[in-house]
Structure 1
Amino acid sequence: MCHIRAGHIFLALLACLLSLPPGEAAAQSAGSVQQNFANSLTSVPSEPLAASGAFYVPVYSSVAMSQGKLRADFSVTLSVHNASDTTPLVLKRIAYFDTSGRLVESYLKSPVALKPFSTVEVSIAMADTRGGTGANFVVDWAASGEIAEPVVEALMVGGVGAGHYAFISQGRPTRLVGKN
């Protein structure tokens, strides 16, 4: 009987991800969320959208290593999860910004609605370093009524030489602060 440790499986999967040819690892284009995740989507509610919010998700398509002498590039997968078991989640915007705050890409042509407990993802290839060391996503959402707050996070996977790295960045709800 063969005994495989979970860590070995993870490393094997990571090695496969890192070996993808650049042509197969291109960034998703606007509209592909609708195409790639059609089974996760439902009709946008016709009633007014009474609840809304936004998430800011810091991501890293590149990281400086060894006192800045070496750069590691990472693939990025942004996942947006509808945490509600009953209510559709409307995504109004998924936008990717670079280190200087310039819009790199917008991933929705129009609002889409996620079925309860469903997920959509946006992928940035390891070869796509347009975001730089301080890239980020902004996800604007809404719902027709009370809803569980969505879960938004990004997985970065990459490596340098024989070293491979994977880490997660959790989205943070954006709230206005200051004057009351």
Structure 2
Amino acid sequence: MKLSLYFYSTLAIIILASCTSREIPQKSQSDSGQLTQPHLKVVTLADKSKIAMGQTIYVPVYSHIYYENQKEVLYLSATLSIRNTDLSNPIIITSVRYYNTEGKLIKQYLERPVELSPLASMDFIVERTDTSGGSGANFIVEWIAEKDVSKPVVEAVMISAASNQGISFVSPGRIIKNHGNRSP
């Protein structure tokens, strides 16, 4: 049993180590704020009365977690994933903001709203070496739609791997406000 657990742990580390930034897109925006994912389209918001629905979503993120009674810290990378679950209609992501433990805005990821096609997704990365968020960091994601749509899935995945040990977990988003002319 121990041998097979060791084998699978080692295999997982090898697979993670073999992934490169060429194989997995790492950012939805360049440092200048320009989109780098071809399936996303920058849009201009027109008449707010055309907004049928939307939400503000809070997503907890952890740049590190404690162990050994807060004597040791494990640093984590985080991926915020926004997934349009509607089969037919796009949604518009109007804002993605990253805050630290004290509630201070660290980074605004979008300069302008972007349209997310049906069943498309977009990711935002907080690298393991970026500890500016702290253990109580969070994202605030805002989206709208001009039609009634199924609600998107918004969640963060945190991961850390070293030697033959690794940890990963998911943090789901929580709706803190509804927007639009009709309740989602």
Give yes or no for TM over 0.5.
Answer: yes
> 1:165: Cα distance to partner?
0.6
Which of 60, 82, 85 pairs up with 1:83? 85
**More off after superposition, 54-63 vs 44-53:** 44-53
Secondary structure, in 3 states, of the residue corresponding to 2:39? helix
2:120 maps to amino acid: S
Secondary structure, in 3 states, of the residue corresponding to 1:38? coil
Q: Deviations over 1:10-46 (max 9, x none)?
A: 33233457x99xxxx89963624x2x22224475675
In 2, distance between residues paired with 1:49 and 1:13?
44
> 1:174: Cα distance to partner?
1.2
Secondary structure, in 3 states, of the residue corresponding to 1:174? strand
Look up the match of 1:56: 58
The 8 Å contact of residues 42 and 88 in structure 1, kept in 2 or not, is answered as: no
Q: How many residues align?
A: 165
The runs of 5 or more residues in structure 2 that have no matched partner are 1-6, 179-184
Look up the match of 1:119: 121
Look up the match of 1:38: 38
Secondary structure, in 3 states, of the residue corresponding to 1:137? strand
Provide TM-score, normalisation by structure 2. Answer: 0.78
Q: Structure 1 or 2: larger helix share?
A: 1
> 1:133: Cα distance to partner?
0.4
Secondary structure, in 3 states, of the residue corresponding to 2:135? helix
The runs of 5 or more residues in structure 1 that have no matched partner are none
The 8 Å contact of residues 156 and 167 in structure 1, kept in 2 or not, is answered as: yes
RMSD: 2.9
The 8 Å contact of residues 28 and 122 in structure 1, kept in 2 or not, is answered as: no
> 1:175: Cα distance to partner?
3.8
2:130 maps to amino acid: D
